[in-house]
């Protein structure tokens, strides 16, 4: 067994040992084989916990194909172990180009799945657009995250969603625990791995006060940060204030921010006007599904230079000498630079 496969195998087995729900399902389904003869296409962050989900479904009799739902979120060691130890067809690697990313999603759909399991709705969207020939075989699917659910609800409202999709994200076990406690902890796993910098005493701006944002704000405060929340929903903004956080517009908050963390699922949360006001040395990270919350387009236009200064960190130098640091190319920092949510959290969600 080569070192990469060995490392991935250890991570998979460690996760499994801390996922009692998956263990019980696996034990039951190995005997009953409820998925025998079915083909399941998966687009998930390819790491240890989702890997054990894929293994469990395969043990239940299903034919599995797995791709990543994000170009930076794959754990290459886990992907290798899933292929070599468990014999799964895995189409994922870390640092995928856009072409590789979509080619891997296409490879999953090439099996003409009976069911799809998605995170962010790229796989389901592809099935409804460029790969419509697979629709007749798909009986249903599920979607794991807030961003994907928003996309699918819009499709359903336009009567363009052509098979039923289970909304995993809006289950209580998902948003109360995974979104809040999982995101809250894993963001700072990514932070420490990427930066090796302290949080205590720094001014942290958290953009968004949904369940994920609540978790990030809570953990920022717990680490000793001075926390400001930016939120466009007035009710959530009041809630953040009542929870003890400063609340202000992003354009004001960035003037004193040491760290800016976006957790909204929306586009263009930090843009040119914010970079114009931003404090020198500010570190930016995103925990939303797509890499468009922090405008890299605006950063690139404003910067006179861009340099990688650490694994997962790029430094953008402005004309006036100010420097801003972006974690993980503005993609999900908890997976681009970390290992994602804790195993126990993923087990229950």
What does pLDDT average to over the chain?
98
Cβ atoms 17, 117 nearer than 8 A:
no
Query: What 8-state DSSP symbol labels residue 167?
Result: E
Give strand pairing partners of 118. Answer: 43, 143
- What is the DSSP track for 291-335? TTSB-HHHHHHHEEEEEEEETTEEEEEETTS-EEEEEGGGSBHHH
Q: Where does the pLDDT of residue 188 fall: very low under 50, low under 70, confident under 90, or very high at 90 and above? A: very high
Burial class (CB in 10 A: 0-12, 13-18, 19+), 45: buried
- Within the chain, what is the greatest distance between any pair of CA atoms? 66
Domains of the chain (ranges, CATH numbers): 3-170 (3.40.50.1480), 180-336 (3.40.50.720)
The pLDDT assigned to 205 comes to 99
The pLDDT assigned to 330 comes to 98
Residue 1 has pLDDT above 90, yes or no: no
pLDDT tens digits for range 212-240: 999 999 999 999 999 999 999 999 999 99
The pLDDT assigned to 62 comes to 99
Closest CA to 75 of 43, 105, 50, 103: 50
pLDDT tens digits for range 298-322: 999 999 999 999 999 999 999 999 9
Averaged pLDDT, 83-108? 98
Averaged pLDDT, 126-135? 98
Q: Where does the pLDDT of residue 251 fall: very low under 50, low under 70, confident under 90, or very high at 90 and above? A: very high
pLDDT tens digits for range 63-76: 999 999 999 999 99
Closest CA to 95 of 312, 262, 316: 312
User: Distance from CA of residue 282 to its chain's centroid?
Assistant: 22
The pLDDT assigned to 38 comes to 99
The pLDDT assigned to 300 comes to 98
The pLDDT assigned to 52 comes to 99
Give the C-alpha separation, 243 to 217, whole Å.
10
Cβ atoms 256, 279 nearer than 8 A:
yes
The alpha-helical segments, DSSP class H, found in the chain are 3-17, 20-32, 48-59, 76-84, 98-109, 122-128, 146-157, 172, 183-195, 211-222, 234-242, 250-253, 272-277, 296-302, 333-336, 343-348
The percentage of residues in the chain with a pLDDT greater than 90, rounded to a whole number, is 99
Residue 158 has pLDDT above 90, yes or no: yes
Instruction: Give Cα separations from 218 to 66, 183, 197 (angstroms).
Output: 33, 11, 18
pLDDT tens digits for range 35-48: 999 999 999 999 99
The pLDDT assigned to 277 comes to 97
Provide the token pair at 295.
Answer: 């405008």
Instruction: Give Cα separations from 117 to 42, 114, 121, 164, 284 (angstroms).
Output: 5, 10, 9, 12, 30
Averaged pLDDT, 150-166? 98
């Amino acid at each position: 067994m080569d070192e990469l496969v060995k490392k991935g195998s250890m991570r998979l087995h460690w996760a499994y040992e801390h996922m009692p729900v998956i263990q019980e399902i696996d034990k039951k389904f190995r005997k009953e084989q409820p998925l025998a003869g079915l083909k399941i296409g998966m687009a998930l962050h390819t790491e240890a916990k989702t890997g054990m989900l894929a293994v469990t479904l395969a043990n239940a009799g299903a034919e599995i194909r797995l791709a990543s739902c994000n170009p930076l979120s794959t754990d290459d060691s886990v992907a290798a172990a899933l292929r070599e130890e468990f014999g799964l067809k895995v189409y994922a690697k870390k640092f995928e180009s856009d072409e590789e990313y979509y080619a891997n999603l296409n490879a999953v759909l090439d099996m003409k799945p009976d069911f799809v399991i998605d995170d962010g709705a790229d796989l389901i969207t592809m099935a409804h657009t460029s790969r419509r020939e697979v629709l007749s075989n798909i009986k249903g699917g599920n979607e794991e995250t807030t961003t994907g659910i928003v996309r699918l609800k819009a499709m359903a409202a336009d009567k363009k969603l052509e098979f039923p999709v289970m909304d995993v994200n809006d289950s209580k076990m998902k948003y109360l625990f995974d979104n809040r406690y999982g995101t809250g902890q894993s963001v700072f796993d990514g932070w420490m791995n990427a930066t090796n910098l302290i949080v205590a005493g720094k001014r942290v701006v958290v953009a968004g006060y949904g369940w994920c944002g609540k978790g990030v704000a809570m953990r920022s405060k717990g680490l000793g940060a001075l926390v400001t929340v930016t939120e466009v929903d007035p009710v959530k903004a009041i809630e953040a204030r009542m929870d003890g956080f400063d609340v202000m517009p992003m354009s004001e908050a960035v003037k004193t921010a040491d760290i800016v963390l976006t957790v909204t699922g929306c586009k263009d949360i930090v843009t040119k006007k914010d970079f114009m006001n931003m404090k020198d040395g500010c570190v930016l990270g995103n925990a939303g599904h797509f890499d468009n919350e922090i405008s890299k387009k605006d950063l690139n236009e404003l910067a006179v230079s861009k340099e990688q200064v650490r694994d997962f960190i790029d430094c953008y130098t402005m004309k006036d000498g100010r420097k801003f640091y972006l974690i993980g190319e503005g993609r999900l920092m908890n997976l681009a630079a970390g290992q994602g949510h804790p195993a126990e959290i993923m087990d229950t969600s």
